[in-house]
Structure 1
Amino acid sequence: MIHKKSIVSRLKRFWKILGPGLVTGASDDDPSGIATYSQAGAAYGLTTLWTSIVAFPLMAAIQQMCARIGVVTTQGLTGTLKKHYPKPILYTMLIFSFPAIVMNIGADIAGMGAVGNLLFPNIDASFFSVFFTILLLGLIIYLPYQKIASALKYLCIVMLVYFIVPFLYKQDFKEILSATFIPKLTFDKEFVAILVGILGTTISPYLFFWQASVEVEEMKNKKKHIVVNKKIIHDINQDVDFGMTFSGFVMYFIILTTGTVLFKAGIHQIDTVEQAALALKPLAGDLAYLLFAVGIIGTGLIAIPVLSGSLSYIFTETFGWEQGLDKKFHEAKGFYLIIAISLILGLSLNYVGISPIKALIYTAILYGITAPVLIAIILHISNNKQIMGKNVNDLKTNILGFTALIIMTIAAGLLLYLQF
């Protein structure tokens, strides 16, 4: 009995530690990300499964640095950039981030709307898109930060559906193990494009800004000055590691589902999330289809507040406006107006002739260009004793960080080469 109680109390303590890292990881698997992973599985079977193992430590290292920057400096990544780096770098990030994040939001809203229409065919997809936009805007503006954080945290549970879906279909576990741990590469344009797409989707610049800013929000919410010590850094690292592990598993299981079910059925082209969900229905059954579809809406509900929130943090820190999800609308009008504008612009993309697929391509290009620059800056900040004091990077974090920088720089070069 005592043993059971201690396990329960440990789990409760661990759940309490989880927060920004878990939400950041879950938001990384947004509907547009699911579309990318689904296409990888459909086009190449299980060939890209190993990418989730490679991406995890790189994602975790970058997000840990961003979280530490937020906690140590008590300001977001934009605020640190503004204070310690030339203004052109800051404004360049702003110029590239704004269209990229708005197009990402647009692609996610369109994906949620299309999946809503699949579940309820009598209701038009555009109705669902508008409904989800208004719902999210209302919740973000009217709920206090703690309730938003708690809601996002519990919404992550919805994503567990992706851990079930592959096992509703007969699997060859020997083949899965081989594809997981033995990387296979095909040197053709399409395969390289998929690899670059996976990297761009998993290591996205908006996550860097969100992680740092929301750690500051968490500290503010505790309503007392926190001395940054080893325990706080350890708890933050645990949260980030769990979030990135969770994200990696979701990515892994989506590639596994589409790589076994769709690829083996000869369905090799998936452009949107609703196509992936619909293609599963006759092959893996109604339950797999339903769970996959519900998961897409759940991920959108997590990702869109993170996307719009990160953009708002970037703007408000750049111009020195009042900011924070803990503030009421009248206390931080600029902050909430940026969120509202980003959601409305994202929704409007569907009505001005920019398809979700085009939006994803443009987003990937803009993220691809900015990610290496931002990773280099994050590494520089994290190793700067004047900014970080004794909380600078250790050797392991630097090795992973510089590996991420090299890989993302190569990916950016390949992306630009493939596009132009």
Structure 2
Amino acid sequence: MSMLDQIKRLGPGLVTGAADDDPSGIATYSQAGAQFGTGLLWSMLFAYPLMVATQLASARVGRVTGKGLGHSLKAVMPRWLIIMLVAALFVANTINIGADLAAMGEAAGMTLGFGQHGFTILFALASLLLQMFIPYDRYAAILKWLTLVLLAYVALVFMVKVDWGQALHDLIVPHLDTRQAVTTMVAILGTTISPFLFFWQAAQEVEELDQVEERQPLEEAEHQAQDAFTRIRLDTFTGMAVSNIVALAIMLGTAATLHAHGKTDIQSAADAAKALQPVAGKLAFAIFSLGIIGTGFLAVPVLAGASGYAVCEVGGWSASLQDKPWRARVFYTVIALGMMPGIGLDWSPISPMKALFWCSVINGVVAVPVLVALMLVVSKPSVMGEFTAPLSLKIFGWITTVAMADAAIAMIAVPG
């Protein structure tokens, strides 16, 4: 199979990787670089195999069963616990959506000099209408090009003075010595291993079964397993690698610009955008804004859609971003309910950039029980049949779960 054919096979994993570098990711990586320099680069190297393991497990559930993660949870836990889990996911996603929309509005207002709140409302309505009336895969294919502006951070790394010896040391030698460093580590893990992405990737594998006629759930078409798992591995390893390369570039870029010049606390979009000035000059604010808005339009449907999938899979209602609203009323109602309260965050006294950072922390905590549920599902023969997770995936999946739990506990236990 040619390289071009391999690229064409990329799908849910690549979209997930792009959505992973959403506004909360940009804010978290920028804050990490500004506050700790290159000191937390190792976290991305540490997170990569964990990200891959969780997304491989999520995709495996959807591809094998032909059903989303929410539906499969019924086989491993009581209904009341599933409802609590989905409720926590919904709350975390709603806060994240609100922070993303507020940051998009702030970025647009910063660049144009007016209308921050108006842009927030406009972006929320535009995103909702796009989700309701245009299949996600169509406009996601266009919006992915907007996220390419994030490559400006990659260019930045080669245009500013970077202590590559120190950077390499910090990339491979873990170091945490304060509560704030641990909290930032939880935020980094929370924005890279976000619980909404588990539901999303499983659901997108199911969506692709409906769109590609020859594909069937593996429990009904065992002969498709080898090709399916090969595609999923390529897709997931590639998507997570792209996500982490951009994340490392943002951390390195902000370390070499903001941290190196004493700017260690990012309070606004303007503060974060200043990191791009060495490579973009007067266009720094515009490029940063395009990155925030582009990734926001990619991520908000993923966040809202993940909530919709989870609720509808548990409740037994139709759920698909390919469906029109009148064919999936409950699904789109959940999406709307998840987006509208988030707009209120734009009127709160909380800085959108700070809100994005703390959204990552919340996701890092909520991810722990969701990971436990995911690993129970993917390891259960009554759900997965002969396609339960291989030993390597189980080991990395449970390592991820323990690492996320330890980080969340350490955030409280480590002295300030």
* Fold shared per TM-score above 0.5: yes
Unaligned stretches of 5+ residues in structure 2: none
- Whether 1:327 aligns to 2:323 is yes
Aligned to 2:51: 59
Paired with 1:292 and 1:168, the residues of 2 have a C-alpha distance of 17
Q: From the superposition, tell whether residues 334 and 419 of structure 1 become closer, same or farther in structure 2 (CA, over 3 Å).
A: farther
Contact 1:23 1:156 survives alignment (8 Å): no
**Any idea what SS the aligned residue of 1:313 has?**
helix
With over 3 angstroms needed to count, the CA separation of the structure-2 counterparts of 1:386 and 1:372, relative to structure 1, is same
Mapping of residues 31-180 of structure 1, within 5 Å: 31-121=23-113, 123-180=114-171
CA positional deviation for 1:78: 0.5
> 2:101 is aligned with what amino acid?
I
CA distance in 2, matches of 1:258, 1:225: 44
> What residue number does 2:380 align with?
384
Q: Describe the shift of the 1:84–1:330 C-alpha distance in structure 2 as closer, same or farther (beyond 3 A).
A: same
| In 1: Cα distance, 2:119 partner to 2:15 partner | 24
Alignment root-mean-square deviation, CA: 2.4
Q: Secondary structure at the match of 1:270?
A: coil
Matched, 1:203 2:193: yes
Alignment of 1:224-243 (within 5 A): 224-226=214-216, 227=221, 228-243=224-239
Q: Within 2, Cα distance between the matches of 1:172 and 1:290?
A: 28
* Contact persistence 1:100–1:362 (CA under 8 A): no
Q: After superposition, give the CA deviation of every residue in 1:297-326 in whole Å (9 maximum; x if it has no partner).
A: 221111111111101111111222221011
Of residues 334, 345, 351 in structure 2, which corresponds to 1:349? 345
- 8 Å CA contact 1:107–1:356 kept in 2: the answer is yes
**Which stretches in structure 1 are left out of the alignment for 5+ residues?**
1-8
TM superposition shift of 1:288: 4.6
Structure 2 Cα separation of the partners of residues 282 and 164 of structure 1 = 10
Post-superposition CA distance 1:327-354 (Å, at most 9, x none): 1111112212222222221112223555
Distance in 2 (CA, whole Å) between partners of 1:360 and 1:416 is 20
Give the Cα separation in 2 of the matches to 1:100 and 1:59: 19
Indicate if the aligned counterparts of 2:267 and 2:354 stay in contact, CA closer than 8 A: no
In the TM superposition, what is the alpha-carbon distance from 1:25 to its structure 2 partner?
1.2
**Does structure 1 retain, via aligned residues, the 8 Å contact 2:269–2:353?**
no
Question: Is 1:309 matched up with 2:299?
Answer: no
**1:371 aligned onto 2:380:** no
- Which deviations, in whole Å up to 9, do the C-alpha atoms of 1:363-408 show, x marking residues without a partner? 3454333312221221122121221122222222122112111111
Deviation at 1:33, TM superposition (A): 1.7
Deviation at 1:115, TM superposition (A): 1.0
What is the rounded CA distance, in whole Å, between the counterparts of 2:367 and 2:186 in structure 1? Answer: 12
Distance 2:68 2:405 in 1: 24
Q: CA deviation at 1:219?
A: 1.1
Corresponding residue to 1:216 among 206, 216, 224? 206
Separation (CA, whole Å) in 2 of partners of 1:15 and 1:62: 22
> Counterpart amino acid of 1:172?
D
Question: Is the partner of 1:229 in helix, strand or coil?
Answer: helix
Residue 30 of structure 1: how far off its partner (Å): 1.2
What code does the residue aligned with 1:170 have?
Answer: K
| TM-score using structure 2 length | 0.91
CA contact 2:267–2:351 (8 Å) conserved in 1: no
Q: Which piece of structure 1 moves more, 164-173 or 298-307?
A: 164-173
What residue in structure 2 maps to residue 187 of structure 1? 177
- Where 1:321 maps in the other structure, the secondary structure is coil
Contact 2:107–2:292 under 8 Å retained in 1: yes
What secondary structure, in the 3-state scheme, does the structure 1 residue paired with 2:299 have? helix
Q: 1:158 to 1:222 in 2, by over 3 A?
A: farther
SS of residue matched to 2:374? helix
**CA spacing shift, 1:195–1:173, aligned 2, 3 Å:** same
**Structure 2: how far apart are the matches of 1:357 and 1:56?**
24
The answer on whether the counterparts of 2:190 and 2:362 sit within 8 Å (CA) in structure 1 is no
Q: Tell me whether 129-138 or 351-360 shows the greater mean CA deviation.
A: 351-360
CA distance in 2, matches of 1:202, 1:402: 16
CA contact (8 A) 1:158 1:295 kept: yes
1:105 aligns to what SS in structure 2?
A: helix
Between the aligned partners of 1:282 and 1:237, the Cα distance in structure 2 is 37
Distance 2:179 2:55 in 1: 30
**1:161 and 1:295 in contact (8 A); partners too:** no
- Given that 2:75 and 2:377 are in contact with CA atoms closer than 8 Å, whether structure 1 keeps it comes out as no
- Aligned pair count reads 410
Q: Which moved more, 1:280-289 or 1:265-274?
A: 280-289
Per mean C-alpha deviation after superposition, the further-off stretch among 345-354 and 404-413 is: 345-354
Q: Which amino acid aligns with 1:111?
A: A
Would the aligned equivalents of 1:203 and 1:371 in 2 still touch at CA under 8 Å? Answer: yes
Output the TM-score relative to the length of structure 1.
0.90
Give the whole-Å Cα distance in 2 for the aligned partners of 1:419 and 1:353: 28
- CA distance in 1 between counterparts of 2:415 and 2:137 reads 42
Q: Report the AA paired with residue 210 of structure 1.
A: W
Per the alignment, residue 285 of structure 1 pairs with 281
